[in-house]
Amino acid sequence: MKTYIDKKGYLRYKSNNRFIHRIIAKSIYKNNKYKFSECLVYHLDLDKKNNDVSNLTIITPGDFIEFSNKLSIEYEDSRDIKIQKYCKFIEDDNHLNLCFLEGILRKSKLPIIINEKDVSRLKNEINFERKFLKQSK
């Protein structure tokens, strides 16, 4: 089947416009609790054209809830409070953790795949909050 790269850099089939990474991930999805359509497929190496099974991870709404619960985040918490809680519990600001945080900040049901501009903005907010937390100890 012929493929093309869409505007966001994902490989798709020309015949039906379906994402190749989602088709591959669906073939290995084993969770009965959530429909696959409710899940996010994440490229571990951030290369949207690398659709090798070893590079894909499936994130369920349950994974997202677990991350949020780990931080003790309440829906009504302000943005600053959510970032403070993130800073207290998460030391590794890897891309996936930042996607989880962005999803929480946007009150989404799943992590939000973010671009480099969003990553930079979030890291600046996190660094500011970490400095503030250190000074207030």
Residue-wise pLDDT tens digits, 48-87:
999 999 999 999 999 999 999 999 999 899 999 999 999 9
pLDDT given at position 31: 87
Pair 55, 65 in one domain: no
Pair 4, 47 in one domain: yes
Q: Which domain holds residue 65?
A: 61-137
Q: What are the pLDDT digits (tens) for 95-108?
A: 999 999 999 999 88
- 137 falls in which pLDDT band (50, 70, 90)? low
Q: What are the pLDDT digits (tens) for 12-30?
A: 999 999 999 999 999 999 9
33-72 as b/e: b if 16+ CB within 10 A: eeeeeebbbbbeeeebeebeeebbebbbeebbeebbeebe
Pair 98, 129 in one domain: yes
Pair 24, 77 in one domain: no
Pair 55, 84 in one domain: no
Pair 5, 50 in one domain: yes
Pair 81, 50 in one domain: no
